[in-house]
């Protein structure tokens, strides 16, 4: 019979005030499995973990059950402390007494009884489990960063500057992301590209960074420390090894197309570079627009034009992956009451950025499409934020500050202009944002607490009519403006959703990538070795994205500091005698970890994430997760139900 230890934590009385730990300890000592019971004040602290190590060493246990906080918060620390005394992590069971007992029950007697049953179930599970060896793997000291926005660029630079090779994959022809489109930054109103441009150049020149533009990750296999990644590179019809960015081809091209960088406000040639500071500065041909007239071929003295270019597949072997794919802006056409795309002078916040930017289509002049200067401008907040009707209930955080910045820019261009902000709540939570809010109010910008109903267009003047009711003053009216700017919220990008599916990552809400723990492990995903940075896991501003890029780089470097890493032992296992080869488990596995071999299912443990999706798919019960076999789980349930 196994000799087991039980260690209870009062969690600074958070557990102890509802669960009678002394009574619980006395009842547990009666169990034939229990060799020793201990009670700690704060098990998660340094002293508590030291006492846990001593407790395991003194008891010479075959297994340990810990009654404490959420396993998501503390399980890793507890198991690491136990493992230092040679107790396998698979024989350490953490029972959540805080969330499942003390936080939800006010009856001390009932909470204590529930805690006893849960601990008893944990004892039965450990008593019927076998130790699992923790496999180790060597670390490939190369990193993949997916997404070339400011978070991805910062992450790549930090890893590369530490001496490791980085593959930076970007779906656009140039790195830079949304920040490259902005006029000024928040809250200091510094030139955006003046800040980002040098970083882009540094990334392009760094010998340890290999840029892979016009590309997308399509498949990821393997495990932490050794991932095999498939990257599909789209044809650009210009040989990047020959192109020197001289622009001779652009001068002679007769075909124009909408320019996504300028939000389709100004056309661009069929052969183009996204913007002046693009990195890499290599030209790209939009084949669906190009007429193949051949003029660019004749103008190019380097023979870089190749109309027969085709897609390419690049295979990468890396030890860690950082996802920095960013987010997309809300589609304002989903709010038809604002008539975006119908009323000429209803534009979005990102279009305003390009209009007012010195490198934009109007050369930095704040003008309407008819070249007249607007004298009355309205900013309408929360378009695609805090709105359950479009499935985006969260606040996008940055939109208020963006409109504050843009209102300030209007006043800088024309101090006599009238500026109105229609808001739900002004949320100026970032560093320096409150000062910006105060400054804008001093400039004379008027704030009206209201979500306007349907906009109209005045038949005579062509002005935009904004009906409103100020919820603070009760005042009602209609405001005629020359320009209405929709402050768009964020939503997950399509590339983020595709990548999450390819990597088997968990998502939340409308599709943001889910972190392991938002407080303690905010940059780690549920797949070990894959990290996140920037807006792929929720709305963030530039400074937060830069911080997270460096943070994710630090996590990658901590992996690379070790020659090998310990992997989870909880992998799928097939009972060949029971397996019929139906391969339902193959269909259930999202990671490609199950294949057919000699008529039976075979598990590739390097690809298996231990999620358990294959287990209920098997009608024969031939597949299980090591450490979570039906026998031990059944004993755990019996222990809970049969406790006196």
pLDDT at 162 exceeding the cut of 70: yes
Cβ–Cβ under 8 Å, residues 604 and 574: no
pLDDT band, residue 644 (cuts 50/70/90): low
pLDDT value at 297 more than 80: yes
pLDDT > 80? residue 148: yes
Per-residue pLDDT reduced to its tens digit, 5-59: 999 999 988 898 999 999 999 999 998 889 999 999 999 899 999 999 999 888 7
For the chain, list the domains and their CATH numbers. Answer: 4-132 (3.40.50.960), 143-233+505-567 (3.50.50.60), 235-310 (3.30.70.20), 328-491 (3.50.50.60), 572-626 (3.30.70.20)
Which pLDDT value is given to residue 223?
A: 86
Q: Residue 93 in contact with residue 628, Cβ under 8 Å?
A: no
Residue ranges of alpha helices (H) inside 453-541 are 494-503
Which residues have a Cβ under 8 Å from the Cβ of 370 and sit 6 or more positions away? none
Q: Residue written as tokens 């983020």?
A: 496
Nearest by Cα to 607 from 592, 595, 626, 589: 592
Rounded to whole angstroms, the Cα distance separating 614 from 217 reads: 25
Quote the mean pLDDT of the chain: 92
The residues, any chain, with a CB within 8 Å of residue 69's CB and separated by 6 or more, are: 9, 11, 44, 96, 97, 98, 99
> Distance of alpha carbon 217 from its chain centroid, rounded?
16
Calpha distance 398→350 (Å, rounded): 13
How would residue 611 be classed by pLDDT, with cut points 50, 70 and 90?
A: confident
pLDDT single digits (tens) 453-489 = 899 999 888 899 999 999 999 889 999 999 999 999 9
* CA pair distance 330, 217, nearest whole angstrom: 24
Find the DSSP H helices in 589-643: 614-617, 630-642
Per-residue pLDDT tens digits for 256-266: 999 989 988 88
Ranking 83-92, 439-448, 474-483 by mean pLDDT, the lowest is 83-92
Query: Is the per-residue pLDDT at 346 higher than 80?
Result: yes
The pLDDT value given to residue 643: 64
The enclosing H or E element of 252 equals helix 248-252
C-alpha to C-alpha distance for 267 and 261, rounded to whole angstroms: 10
Tens digit of each residue's pLDDT (9 = 90 or more) over 54-79:
998 887 889 999 999 887 778 888 98
Which pLDDT tens digit goes with each residue over 498-511? 999 888 888 988 89
Task: Tell me the average pLDDT across 486-493.
Answer: 94
**Which residues, other chains included, contact 632 with Cβ-Cβ below 8 Å and sequence gap of 6+?**
125, 128, 129
Confidence of residue 604 (pLDDT cuts 50, 70, 90): confident
């Amino acid at each position: 019979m196994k000799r087991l230890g039980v260690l209870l934590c009062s969690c600074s009385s958070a557990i102890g005030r509802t669960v009678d730990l002394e009574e619980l300890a006395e009842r547990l000592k009666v169990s034939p499995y229990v060799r020793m019971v201990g009670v700690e004040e704060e098990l998660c602290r340094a002293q508590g973990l030291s006492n846990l190590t001593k407790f395991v060493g003194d008891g010479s246990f075959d297994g340990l059950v810990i009654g404490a906080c959420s396993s998501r918060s503390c399980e890793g620390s507890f198991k690491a402390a136990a493992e230092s005394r040679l107790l396998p992590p698979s024989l350490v069971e953490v029972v959540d007494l805080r969330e499942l007992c003390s936080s939800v029950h006010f009856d001390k007697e009932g909470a204590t009884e529930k805690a006893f049953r849960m601990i008893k179930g944990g004892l039965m599970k450990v008593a019927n489990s076998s130790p699992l060896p923790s496999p180790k793997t060597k670390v490939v000291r190369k990193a993949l960063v997916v997404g070339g926005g400011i978070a991805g660029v910062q992450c790549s630079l930090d890893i590369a500057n530490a001496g490791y090779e980085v593959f930076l994959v970007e779906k656009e022809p140039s790195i830079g992301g949304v920040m490259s489109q902005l006029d000024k930054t928040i809250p200091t109103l510094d030139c955006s590209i003046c800040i980002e441009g040098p970083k882009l150049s540094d990334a392009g020149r760094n010998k340890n960074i290999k840029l892979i533009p016009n590309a997308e990750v399509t498949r990821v296999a393997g495990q932490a420390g050794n991932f095999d990644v498939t990257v599909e590179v789209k044809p650009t019809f210009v040989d990047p090894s020959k192109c020197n960015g001289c622009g001779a081809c652009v001068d002679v091209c007769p075909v124009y197309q909408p320019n996504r960088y300028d939000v389709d406000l100004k056309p661009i040639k069929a052969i183009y570079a996204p913007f002046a500071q693009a990195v890499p500065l290599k030209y790209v041909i939009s084949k669906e627009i190009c007429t193949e007239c051949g003029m660019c071929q004749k103008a190019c003295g380097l023979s870089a034009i190749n109309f027969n270019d085709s897609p390419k597949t690049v295979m990468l072997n890396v030890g860690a992956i950082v996802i920095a794919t960013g987010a997309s802006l809300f589609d304002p056409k989903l709010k038809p009451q604002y008539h975006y795309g119908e009323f000429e002078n209803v534009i979005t916040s990102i279009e305003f950025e390009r209009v007012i930017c010195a490198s934009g289509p109007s050369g930095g002049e704040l003008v309407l499409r008819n070249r007249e200067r607007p004298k009355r401008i309205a900013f309408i907040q929360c378009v695609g934020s805090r709105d359950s009707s479009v499935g985006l209930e969260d606040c996008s955080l940055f939109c208020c500050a963006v409109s504050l910045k843009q209102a300030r820019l209007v006043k800088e261009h024309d101090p006599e202009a009238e500026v109105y902000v229609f808001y739900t709540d002004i949320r100026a939570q970032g560093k320096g944002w409150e000062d910006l809010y105060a400054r804008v109010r001093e400039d004379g910008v008027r704030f009206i607490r209201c979500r306007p109903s349907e906009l109209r267009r005045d038949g005579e003047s062509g002005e935009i009519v904004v009906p409103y009711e100020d919820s603070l003053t009760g005042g009602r009216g209609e405001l005629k403006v020359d320009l209405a700017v929709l402050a768009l919220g964020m939503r997950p990008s399509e590339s983020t959703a595709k990548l999450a599916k390819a990597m088997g990552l968990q998502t939340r809400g409308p599709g943001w990538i889910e972190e392991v723990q938002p407080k303690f492990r905010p940059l780690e995903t549920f797949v070990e070795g894959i990290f996140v940075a920037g807006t792929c896991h929720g709305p963030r501003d530039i400074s937060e994205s830069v911080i997270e890029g460096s943070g994710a780089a630090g996590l990658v470097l901590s992996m690379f500091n070790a020659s090998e890493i310990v992997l989870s032992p909880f992998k799928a296992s097939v009972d060949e005698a029971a397996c019929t080869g139906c391969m339902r488990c193959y269909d259930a596995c999202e990671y490609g970890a199950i294949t057919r071999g000699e008529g039976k299912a075979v598990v590739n443990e390097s690809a298996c994430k231990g999620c358990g999706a294959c287990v209920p798919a098997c009608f024969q019960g031939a597949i299980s997760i090591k450490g979570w076999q039906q026998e031990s789980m059944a004993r755990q349930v019996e222990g809970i139900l049969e406790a006196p």
